[in-house]
Amino acid sequence: VFQFMGSSECHFTNGTEKVRFVQRYIYNRQMWAMFDSDVGLHVGFTPYGEFNAKRWNSDPVFMENRRTAVDWFCRNNYEVSRPFITERRGERGA
């Protein structure tokens, strides 16, 4: 059994004031590459990951998409989800 997984995460500090987008690429429980919007580049952790990170980082259109993901992915989804995650009132289970 082989497992390939991608994970996209948004980390919010003080609402949408400080937002960090992290995308991880995982194969058989080993992270082989990741993108962090605070760094602004892909980083490879295996030879295959280093190869792909170099290729992705040299593509300006692909990198523009990743660098703007904070806005089109994170902030957009925060606004859509905000009523359900920040404005809930009452006791749990009640």
Q: What is the pLDDT of residues 3-52, one digit of tens each?
A: 999 999 999 888 778 999 999 999 999 999 999 999 999 999 999 999 99
CATH number at residue 51: 3.10.320.10
60 versus 87: the higher-pLDDT residue is 60
Give the Cα-Cα-Cα angle 34, 40, 44 (nearest 5 degrees).
Answer: 30
Mean pLDDT over each residue of the chain, to the nearest integer: 89
pLDDT of residue 23: 96
50 inside domain: yes
Boundaries of domain holding 47: 4-82
Decide if 17 is inside a domain.
Answer: yes
What is the pTM (predicted TM-score) of this model? 0.81
Structural domain tally of the chain?
Answer: 1
Please state at what angle helix 47-57 crosses helix 60-67, rounded to 10 degrees: 90
